[in-house]
Amino acid sequence: MKLAATLFTTVLGGAADYSSNGDNWTGTCQTGQRQSPIHIDETGNDIITKTTFQDFKVENYDTPMKWKVINKATTIQLEPNAGSPEMKLTGGYLGSEYKLLQIHFHWDVNANGLPVGPQGSEHTVTRKGQTAITPYRGEVHFVHGKVGADLSDLSTAAGDDLAVLGFFLDVDDSLPKSWFDYTLDDLIDVNVQDTASPPTAEIEIDWTASSMLPKELDGFWRYEGSLTTPTCNEIVRWTVFETPLTMKQASWDNLVKSVGLAADNTSPHVPSNYRNVQPLNDRKISYYKKSNVVAPSSSKKKFGTKVAFGTLPMSYKDPLTGQMSTKLQQVQKVLLCFGEDEKLCMFM
């Protein structure tokens, strides 16, 4: 798996030309039919709201381990060191077990969110009841490979060999300093800035992936798509979460100015590294949220009562003679009955 992961991160981390935000890429990037990113339009008919929910399960995401923070010239990338415990991801209707390969970021240095400026994020959303696109500054991707899959040649990989968790990024100075702020300020910042061309800066840190994840993985869209960088292989099962991760403005500035710096240490070579949205091409998008789960019907009773009538032999003692005698007497009994058909009953 080490060779496959190396090849994969090399392909993803290649120096893609973002001068047209991907519109000038060729091959599958241009001809593919399940390309990413996409626009998620909750006002249309392409969203299927699910009424069941399956929790995600993660393993070793909270285990401290050595990570590489790498200036890839087009993005900042975090990779677990070789030999680190595998971070596993299951559940969430993924259908298979996946392991975390790397984390990277997308943005626009001037992003202030659609519709009035550059979007920054790769996926875009129009929420139900709204007419405008919800603005997001950027996006972070947690890239996972299916356990046991052969990723040595991405051109032959299966359509679900990769699973990517995508989170929108937003700026809010009114909130306390978040995990994102600490990650960007304390781990990235100037540490990976490099004046070389192409940049080569790389540092090693002790860190846990769970510090970047929200407390609860709930409210997400799921669709079948592709890598958002050349060669745009259509091998990704996408999970895009509706709640953005927030950071402070200073942290945002550190992120978008952290890669590909010119000699004067002020002008980024890559001010924008997001791909424009791609046609949906009749694909459907599934939406999962715990609050949409249908509650059990309250009309189904766990038990009920019945009244039974009949005659039973009753014994009684003559108060004058003291003799015992038996005769049939009309009685009624209350029964407690169980099950949907209430066929199993007992006397109360």
Q: Is residue 297 part of a domain?
A: no
18 and 93 together in one domain: yes
> What is the rounded distance in angstroms from the CA atom of residue 185 to the CA atom of residue 258?
11
Q: Tell me what the pLDDT averaged over the chain comes to.
A: 83
What are the pLDDT digits (tens) for 222-253? 999 999 999 999 999 999 999 999 999 988 88
Are β-strands 76-80 and 98-107 bridged in parallel, bridged antiparallel, or unpaired?
antiparallel
Q: Is residue 92 part of a domain?
A: yes
Q: What tokens were used for 159?
A: 């359509």
The neighbouring-strand residues paired with 91 are: 56
Find the mean pLDDT for residues 104-130: 83
Contact 72, 18 (CB under 8 A): no
For residues 74 and 339, which has the higher predicted lDDT (pLDDT)?
74
Q: CA-CA distances (angstroms) from residue 263 to 74, 156, 199, 271, 317?
A: 16, 41, 11, 15, 115
Give percent above pLDDT 70 in the chain.
Answer: 74
Find the mean pLDDT for residues 262-282: 77
Domain that holds residue 232: 2-292
Find the mean pLDDT for residues 7-29: 76
> What is the rounded distance in angstroms from the CA atom of residue 286 to the CA atom of residue 137?
24
> How many domains would you assign to the chain?
2
223 and 104 together in one domain: yes
163 and 310 together in one domain: no
226 and 307 together in one domain: no
> What is the rounded distance in angstroms from the CA atom of residue 298 to the CA atom of residue 247?
43
Query: By mean pLDDT, which of 30-39, 141-150, 257-266, 292-301 is the weakest?
Result: 257-266
Q: Is residue 40 part of a domain?
A: yes
Contact 159, 224 (CB under 8 A): yes
238 and 327 together in one domain: no
- Backbone torsions φ then ψ of 212, nearest 5 degrees: -100, -15
- Asked whether the predicted pLDDT for residue 341 surpasses 60, the reply is no
- Residue 246 burial (10 A CB sphere; 0-12, 13-18, 19+): buried
Q: Is residue 270 part of a domain?
A: yes
112 and 238 together in one domain: yes
Q: What tokens were used for 287?
A: 């939406």
Q: Is residue 298 part of a domain?
A: no
- Asked whether the predicted pLDDT for residue 3 surpasses 50, the reply is no
- Mark which of 266, 292, 318 sits at the end of a domain: 292
The neighbouring-strand residues paired with 311 are: 330
Q: Is residue 213 part of a domain?
A: yes
- Measured over the CA atoms of residue 13, residue 16, residue 20 and residue 24, the dihedral's sign is negative
Find the mean pLDDT for residues 127-145: 92
- Measured over the CA atoms of residue 21, residue 25, residue 30 and residue 34, the dihedral's sign is negative
What are the pLDDT digits (tens) for 35-77? 999 999 999 999 999 999 999 999 999 999 988 888 887 888 9
Q: Helix/strand/coil (H, E, C) string of the chain?
A: CHHHHHHHHHHHCCCCCCCCCCCCCCCHHHHCCCCCCCEEECCCCCEEECCCCCCEEEECCCCCEEEEEEECCCCEEEEECCCCCCCEEEECCCCCCEEEEEEEEEEECCCCCCCCCCCCCCCEEECCCCCCCECCCEEEEEEEEECCCCCCCHHHCCCCCEEEEEEEEEECCCCCCCHHHHHHHHHHHHHHCCCCCCCCCEEEEEECHHHHCCCCCCCEEEEEECCCCCCCCCCEEEEEEEEEEEECHHHHHHHHCCCCECCCCCCECCCECCCCCCCCCCCCEEEECHHHCCCCCCCCCCEEEEEEEEEEEEEEECCCCCCEEEEEEEEEEEEEEECCCCCEEEEC
> What is the rounded distance in angstroms from the CA atom of residue 254 to the CA atom of residue 188?
8
CATH number at residue 257: 3.10.200.10
